[in-house]
Structure 1
Amino acid sequence: MTFNPLEHRGIPLDRQLRTWRELDVDPIDPDHADPYTRCRIITMNGIEVEALMFSHQFARNCPDLDVKRQLAEVRYIEQQQQKAVNWLLPGVSSPLETTIAYEQVAVDLTAWVARMEPDPYLKQAYEFGVLEDFDHLYRYANLYEMIQRRKAEKIVDDLTEVIPGRPTKYHHRHPHDNVREPYDRAAAAPISKLHALTIMSAEQQTMNFYMNVGPQYMEPIARQLYQEIGLIEEEHVTHYESLVDPGETWWERLVNHEYNECYLYHSFMETESDPRIKAIWELHLNMELEHLRLACDLMRANDDREPEEVVAPELPAPVTFEPNKQYLRELLDTQIDLTTLGTGYVQDAHERFEALQDAIMGGEKPPSEVVVDLNRTEAGRDYRHSTEGEHPVPSLRRSGVTR
Structure 2
Amino acid sequence: MRKHYDKDTADIKTKMNYVTIVAGEQQTMLYYRAHGFMYPDDIVRQLYAEIAEIEEQHVSQYELLGDPRETMLEKLALVQLNEAYLYYSYAQHESDPRIKGIWETHMKMEIAHFNECARLIRKFEGRDIHDILKADVVEPLIVFESNKDYVDRVLDAQLDLMPNNREYVRLRDLPDDWASFGYQAKVNAKGAPSEEIVSKAGRELAQRDQAEKIKKVKQEMARRMEKGMAAVPAR
Structure with higher RCO (Cα < 8 A, 6+ apart): 1
Q: Please confirm whether the aligned pair reaches a TM-score higher than 0.5, indicating the same fold.
A: yes
How many angstroms does 1:276 deviate by?
2.5
Question: Are positions 1:392 and 2:215 aligned together?
Answer: no
Q: Does 1:243 align with 2:69?
A: no
| Aligned counterparts of 2:48 and 2:186: Cα–Cα separation in 1 | 19
Structure 2 CA distance, aligned partners of 1:391 and 1:307?
A: 52
Q: How does 1:2-401 map to 2 (within 5 A)?
A: 179-311=1-133, 312-348=135-171, 349-350=174-175, 351=177, 352-362=179-189, 364-375=190-201, 381=203, 383=205, 392-394=211-213
2:108 alignment partner, SS class: helix
Give the CA deviation at 1:344: 0.8
Q: Distance in 1 between matches of 2:147 and 2:32?
A: 25
Which residue type is aligned with residue 361 of structure 1?
Answer: N
For 1:394, what is the secondary structure of its paired residue? helix
**CA distance, structure 2, for counterparts of residue 304 and residue 355 of structure 1:** 49
Structure 1 residues 236, 277: CA separation in 2 closer, same or farther (over 3 Å shift)?
same
Distance 2:15 2:39 in 1: 37
Distance 1:288 1:329 in 2: 34
Distance in 1, matches of 2:102 and 2:131, equals 30
**Unaligned runs of at least 5 residues, structure 2:** 218-235
CA distance in 2, matches of 1:229, 1:279: 36
Deviations, residues 203-228 of structure 1 (Å, cap 9, x unaligned): 00111111111011000111010000
Alignment partners' CA distance in 1, 2:211 and 2:143 = 29
Q: Give the counterpart letter for 2:99 in structure 1.
A: I
Q: Deviations over 1:31-60 (max 9, x none)?
A: xxxxxxxxxxxxxxxxxxxxxxxxxxxxxx
Distance in 2 (alpha carbons) for counterparts of 1:331 and 1:229 = 20
Q: What are the Cα deviations for residues 351-377 of structure 1, in whole angstroms up to 9, with x where unaligned? A: 222111112112x211000111233xx
In structure 2, what is the Cα distance between the partners aligned to 1:321 and 1:391?
A: 31
Note the alpha carbon deviations across 1:52-95, whole angstroms, 9 max, x for none: xxxxxxxxxxxxxxxxxxxxxxxxxxxxxxxxxxxxxxxxxxxx
CA distance in 2, matches of 1:263, 1:384: 39
What TM-score do the two structures reach when normalised by structure 1? 0.49
Which whole-Å CA distance do the structure 2 matches of 1:385 and 1:263 have between them? 40
The answer to whether the 8 A contact 1:372-1:382 is kept is no
What SS does the corresponding residue of 2:95 show, helix, strand or coil?
Answer: coil
Aligned residue number for residue 147 of structure 1: none
> How far is the alpha carbon of 1:391 from its aligned partner?
9.5
What fraction of aligned residue pairs are identical, expressed as a percent? 37
Deviation at 1:326, TM superposition (A): 3.0
Using the size of structure 2 for normalisation, the TM-score is: 0.82
Letter in 2 for 1:230: A
Distance 1:229 1:359, change over 3 A: same
User: Offset of 1:257 from its aligned partner?
Assistant: 1.3
1:148-171 deviations in Å (ceiling 9; x for gaps): xxxxxxxxxxxxxxxxxxxxxxxx
Aligned residues: CA RMSD: 2.3
Deviations 1:95-138 (A, max 9, x none): xxxxxxxxxxxxxxxxxxxxxxxxxxxxxxxxxxxxxxxxxxxx
Classify 1:180/1:393 alpha carbon distance in 2 versus 1 (closer, same or farther; 3 Å). Answer: farther
The count of aligned residue pairs is 211
